[in-house]
Structure 1
């Protein structure tokens, strides 16, 4: 006995299978956004860890070292805000995609015409996804631009030992 013997294809069942097929692509997109959120969360954790390492050093430092540490901790604070914005827009995209999937099934179950709403939600999710990626790009550039090896380290030569 095959699966087709148990469930003979009906127009409604065939239509439901099509709806499920339509819902699969957005669900894969959700998985990709989840992976991206994992990257963002890892980056945020590293930035927070670095700022916590610097806090006691800032309080104990004076002069040029203090100024350098203050500058670095300000940049870290800015990066925390930027990563949080990337996370927000990516989660927004995931919520909008979830609504797309829900509306696909609502339309199937109720016969309601929600094609325009689905299209607008999907467009909104793509805008939020792109915006999240752009914010993340900004954060990575901010991080690489501000984390520089100081010139005296690059020019340092070890003393010769006799």
Structure 2
């Protein structure tokens, strides 16, 4: 009959998995921010879509420009979400591998390290996508020069 792992072994596995769990909590916060931004972009797109049919001339052109920018922002946020979720999944795999390796005394340190590096790379990709989307939103919010001109006397 196989012997169950001692309590100390399980305690060590839990200690090993704490750092990745904190990383998972941070990724969860990032996902919350990204989902909120996506929701706001979708709401803005719906509002501009409602204005689009009734607009003409320069106003129509601005609506088309904004809709194109909002569409690109949705794509970038979605990419950031995919990277963040993929990173979270890899962190979960790291934790599972740590426990599994510790409990059955496997020497899979290289596999765990590769999974953690992949999790970090996906998180970096998500953060870069987030930064790109923030820059795009700042580009969209610039006040048009014609609105900043003083009234002519």
TM-score, normalised to structure 1, is 0.87
Give the one of 28, 32, 42 matched to 1:38: 32
Could you say which residue in structure 1 is the equivalent of 2:105? 111
Stretches of structure 1 that go unaligned for 5 or more consecutive residues are: 1-10
Residue from 62, 66, 72 that aligns with 2:66: 72
Q: Which residue of 2 aligns with 1:120?
A: 114
- 1:142 matched to 2:130: no
User: RMSD between aligned alpha carbons?
Assistant: 1.6
* Structure 1 consecutive aligned stretches of length 4 or more whose deviation exceeds 6 Å: none
Computing the radius of gyration over CA atoms, which structure comes out larger, 1 or 2?
1
Deviations 1:126-161, CA, capped at 9 Å, x for gaps: 0000110011001101110222111122124499xx
Match of 1:90 in 2: 84
Cα separation, partners in 2 of 1:109 and 1:74, compared to 1, 3 Å: same
Deviation per residue, 1:49-83 (Å, 9 max, x gap):
00000002111111111011100110000000000
Which structure has the higher relative contact order (CA within 8 Å, separation 6+)? 2
Residues 88-110 of structure 1: per-residue CA shift (max 9 Å, x gap): 00000000000000011111222
